[in-house]
């Protein structure tokens, strides 16, 4: 069984590969699937067209999807300024929370609350996710 601490180490290592020419804020994510595989993601910023930048959480999910994974268990996200040795455990942005809820409404998100690492369901961050309403026939 993969622990949150082990996932955190993977996210910290992934973070080194983040591409952050705009903010210098490097984020790493480690996504654990139901079958025990782990997929990494980093934030990738595009200085010339900033709207093309992507968050580590979405990159990790896309990496897993690319490998045929569809069942996700837990995601750990860490970040901090490039020069800083102090890492924070982050609450994902709203866009990533929506993305996570779409692909895995039961996903657990490891985050830091009042100085303690805790794991909470994605829907506790995003209580009313957007869903397309099915058309009535």
| Cα four-point dihedral sign 99, 87, 5, 90 | negative
Q: What is the CA radius of gyration of the chain?
A: 15
- Cβ-proximal residues to 74 (8 Å cutoff; 6+ apart), any chain: 2, 4, 7, 31, 32, 107, 108, 109, 110, 119
The residue annotated as part of the active site, out of 45, 48, 57, 114, is 57
57 labelled catalytic: yes
Do β-strands 88-89 and 38-42 pair in parallel, antiparallel, or remain unpaired? unpaired
Distance CA 122, CA 110 (A): 9
Q: Residues with catalytic annotation?
A: 57
């Amino acid at each position: 069984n993969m622990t949150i601490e082990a996932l955190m180490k993977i996210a910290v290592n992934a973070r080194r590969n983040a591409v952050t020419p705009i903010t210098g804020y490097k984020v790493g994510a480690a996504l654990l699937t139901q079958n025990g595989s782990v997929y990494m993601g980093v934030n990738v910023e595009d200085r010339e067209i900033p709207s093309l930048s992507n968050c580590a959480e979405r990159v990790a999910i896309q990496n897993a999807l690319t490998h045929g994974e569809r069942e996700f268990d837990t995601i750990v996200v860490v970040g901090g300024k490039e020069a800083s040795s102090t890492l924070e455990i982050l609450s994902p942005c709203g866009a990533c929370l929506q993305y996570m809820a779409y692909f895995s409404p039961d996903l657990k998100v490891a985050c830091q609350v009042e100085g303690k690492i805790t794991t909470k369901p994605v829907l506790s961050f995003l209580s009313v996710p957007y869903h397309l309403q099915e058309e009535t026939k």
